[in-house]
């Protein structure tokens, strides 16, 4: 997934930020517009908490220091120097862990897939999202700080996904998370196979047709890619701009990751077959029958972003979806993450999915990684979020107990050094519990509920 170049870049970025933090003015290197204004300049130190850095073992009596929206230091009490000018916050009795990273969600009230065609690589979900949506408040109440918002579903390609940091923002631009140095890529491409996109023309009617349609479009993109190369040599050969082709070229160049909805074991294998044919990077999503092909998934190197549903079924290709899928992928050695698919599962209960993995036999370590760093890696954001390490974004949550216990609540959510949710604030508590008109207009039109019967 993560190639050497990106890893190396991550190291450079971290080192640069570490040194920069020492002398540069506050927030000067932050990309987010709003966060520049409100990130604190004085260091803030949390002491006394159990810290789950994810990058290493839990620290029983830990210290976390953040400044200017970044993590300055993490370690055991006594081993970390707390700067003299730091504001110190006693967090005894709490657990501090990285802000949660959700690799597949439909929050933000964006539009669903467009029914005019089965293939929309040109469509951007970011053009339709409401930054002030209640669904974002719901997610931060659940401890989610970074999210991959997906368009669709019901299409072979429903459009471009968007990676968001859930900062309070007035414009979507203030929430974007860029993953490339040119600051042009801030999302992946949502694809799907299996029954998800089967319907009347222009949609495919069978699995074989689905694969053929996708392959034909990628072959066209390969030709466009060649034309672009020729155009670079000789401007008279430059092809006309084509938004669909441009996106797919980004996919072919490995800049944009494909997020592929897939359930049945043979559909999983088809996803892998196509990705390998065209050499694109891919994350498998849902992967309901993962246990049947766990070895093949691990061998392919493609990560799996999976879901926990309280019972199997609801549609034909999910009748074998069990809590055991996560542990099976772990055992096989695949990179595994959980996602909410919100509104399918509730962002407020994201940690519950990790706990259900443990229930079925997953290690606690992998389960915690599966809602943090594993998902960050699946979006090329592993160098910025997903663990508590110096130089990374100061995105973290406070919990009043074991992160995997039913009885534990997220008490505070911090993004880039700013508190964005506080359970002890009476006005914010309802975003964690619900109540009169707390969530308005948050229906989820993204999933094709024609699959089920109307209630």
Partner 1 sequence: MKKKWRSSLTVSVLTAISVLFLALSFGQEHLTAQSIAVEAGVLHTGVSEPIENGVVLIEDGVITAVGSASDISIGDQFERLKAAVVTPGFIDAHSTVGLSGIYNVDADQDQLETSSAIQPELRAIDAYNAREELVGYLRDLGITTVHTGHGPGAVISGQTMIVKTGGGDTIQEVLMDSVTALAMTMGSAVRSNFDKPGTRSKAVAMLRQALIDAQDYASKEDKKRDLGKEALQALLEGEITALVTAHTVSDITTALRLQKEFGFPMMLDGASEAYLLIDEIREAGVPVIIHPSMIRTYGDAQSASFTTAGVLAEAGIPVVFQSGYEAYVPKTRVVHFEAAIAVANGLSHDQAIRSLTIDAAKLLGIDDKVGSVEIGKDADLALFDGDPFEYITNTTAVIINGEVVYRAE
Per CB under 8 A, residues contacting partner 1 are 309-316, 318-320, 343-344, 346, 349, 352, 355-356, 358-359, 404-409, 430, 432-440, 442-444, 447, 449, 451-455
Q: Write down the least CB distance from residue 291 to partner 1, Å.
A: 12
Return the number of the residue (231 or 313) whose C-beta is nearest partner 1: 313
Return the number of the residue (195 or 247) whose C-beta is nearest partner 1: 195
Q: How far apart are CA 395 and CA 165, in angstroms?
A: 9
Return the number of the residue (181 or 310) whose C-beta is nearest partner 1: 310
- Sign of the CA dihedral 106, 175, 146, 247? positive
Strand 87-90 relative to strand 189-192: parallel, antiparallel, unpaired? unpaired
Q: How far apart are CA 176 and CA 126, in angstroms?
A: 9
Return the number of the residue (70 or 285) whose C-beta is nearest partner 1: 285
Q: Write down the least CB distance from residue 321 to partner 1, Å.
A: 8
Q: Write down the least CB distance from residue 402 to partner 1, Å.
A: 9
Return the number of the residue (178 or 439) whose C-beta is nearest partner 1: 439
Return the number of the residue (23 or 407) whose C-beta is nearest partner 1: 407
Q: Write down the least CB distance from residue 99 to partner 1, Å.
A: 20
Return the number of the residue (384 or 447) whose C-beta is nearest partner 1: 447
Q: Write down the least CB distance from residue 246 to partner 1, Å.
A: 35
C-beta of residue 12 within 8 angstroms of C-beta of residue 19? no
Q: How far apart are CA 376 and CA 263, in angstroms?
A: 22
Return the number of the residue (63 or 149) whose C-beta is nearest partner 1: 149
**Does the N-terminal peptide bond of residue 343 adopt cis geometry, omega within 30 degrees of 0?**
yes
Q: Write down the least CB distance from residue 91 to partner 1, Å.
A: 21
Return the number of the residue (84 or 453) whose C-beta is nearest partner 1: 453
* 3-class SS of residue 186: coil
Q: How far apart are CA 306 and CA 312, in angstroms?
A: 14
Q: Write down the least CB distance from residue 441 to partner 1, Å.
A: 8
Q: Write down the least CB distance from residue 262 to partner 1, Å.
A: 16
Q: How far apart are CA 14 and CA 385, in angstroms?
A: 12
Structure token pair of residue 418: 């700013």
Phi, psi angle pair for 12, to nearest 5°: -60, -45
Q: How far apart are CA 255 and CA 274, in angstroms?
A: 17
Return the number of the residue (202 or 452) whose C-beta is nearest partner 1: 452
CB atoms within 10 A of CB 12: 11
Structure token pair of residue 196: 């998800």
Q: DSSP alpha helices (H): ranges in 99-257?
A: 134-141, 207-233, 243-252
Q: How far apart are CA 440 and CA 137, in angstroms?
A: 12
Query: What is the rounded (10 degree) CA torsion for 179, 181, 183, 184?
Result: -80
Q: Write down the least CB distance from residue 415 to partner 1, Å.
A: 23
CB atoms within 10 A of CB 85: 9
Q: Write down the least CB distance from residue 207 to partner 1, Å.
A: 18
Return the number of the residue (82 or 344) whose C-beta is nearest partner 1: 344
Q: How far apart are CA 52 and CA 78, in angstroms?
A: 17
Q: How far apart are CA 73 and CA 22, in angstroms?
A: 13
Q: Write down the least CB distance from residue 354 to partner 1, Å.
A: 9
The contacts of residue 350 (CB under 8 Å, 6+ apart) are 100, 102, 142, 143, 144, 338, 340, 371
Q: How far apart are CA 274 and CA 82, in angstroms?
A: 52
């Amino acid at each position: 997934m993560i190639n050497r170049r990106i890893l190396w870049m991550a190291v450079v970025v971290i080192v640069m930020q570490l040194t920069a933090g020492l002398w540069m003015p506050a927030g000067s290197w932050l990309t987010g517009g709003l966060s520049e204004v409100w990130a604190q300049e004085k260091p803030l130190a949390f002491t006394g908490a159990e810290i789950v850095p994810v990058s290493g073992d839990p620290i029983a009596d830990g210290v976390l220091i953040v400044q200017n929206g970044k993590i300055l230091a993490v370690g055991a009490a006594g081993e970390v120097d707390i700067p003299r000018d730091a504001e110190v916050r006693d967090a005894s009795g709490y657990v501090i862990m990285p802000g949660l990273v959700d690799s597949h969600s439909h929050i933000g009230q964006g539009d669903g897939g467009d029914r005019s065609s089965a293939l929309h690589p040109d469509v951007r979900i970011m053009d339709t999202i409401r930054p002030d949506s209640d669904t974002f408040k719901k997610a931060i109440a659940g401890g989610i700080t970074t999210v991959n918002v997906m368009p669709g579903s019901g299409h072979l390609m429903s459009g471009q996904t968007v990676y968001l940091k859930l900062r309070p923002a007035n414009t979507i631009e203030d929430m974007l998370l860029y993953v490339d140095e040119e600051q042009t890529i801030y999302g992946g491409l949502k694809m799907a196979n299996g029954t998800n996109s089967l319907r009347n023309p222009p949609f495919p009617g069978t699995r074989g047709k689905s694969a053929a349609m996708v392959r034909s479009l990628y072959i066209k993109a390969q030709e466009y890619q060649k034309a672009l190369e020729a155009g670079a040599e000789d401007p008279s050969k430059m092809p006309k701009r084509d938004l669909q082709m441009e996106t797919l070229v980004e996919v072919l160049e490995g800049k944009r990751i494909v997020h592929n909805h897939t359930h049945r074991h043979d559909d999983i294998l088809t996803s892998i077959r196509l990705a390998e044919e065209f050499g694109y990077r891919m994350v498998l999503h849902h992967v309901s029958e993962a246990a049947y092909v766990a070895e093949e998934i691990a061998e392919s190197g493609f990560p799996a972003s999976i879901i926990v549903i309280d019972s199997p079924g609801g549609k034909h290709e999910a009748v074998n979806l069990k809590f055991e899928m996560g542990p099976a992928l772990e055992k096989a050695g695949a990179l595994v993450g959980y996602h909410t698919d919100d509104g399918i599962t509730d962002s407020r209960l994201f940690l519950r999915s990790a706990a259900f993995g443990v229930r079925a036999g997953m290690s606690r370590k992998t389960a915690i990684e599966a809602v943090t760093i594993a998902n960050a890696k699946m979006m090329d954001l592993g160098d910025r979020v997903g663990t508590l390490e110096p130089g990374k974004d100061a995105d973290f949550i406070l919990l009043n107990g074991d992160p995997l216990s039913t009885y534990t609540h997220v008490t505070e959510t911090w993004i880039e050094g700013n508190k964005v949710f506080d359970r002890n604030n009476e006005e914010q508590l309802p975003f964690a519990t619900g109540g009169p008109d707390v969530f308005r207009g948050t229906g989820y039109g993204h999933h094709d509920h024609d699959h089920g019967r109307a209630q």
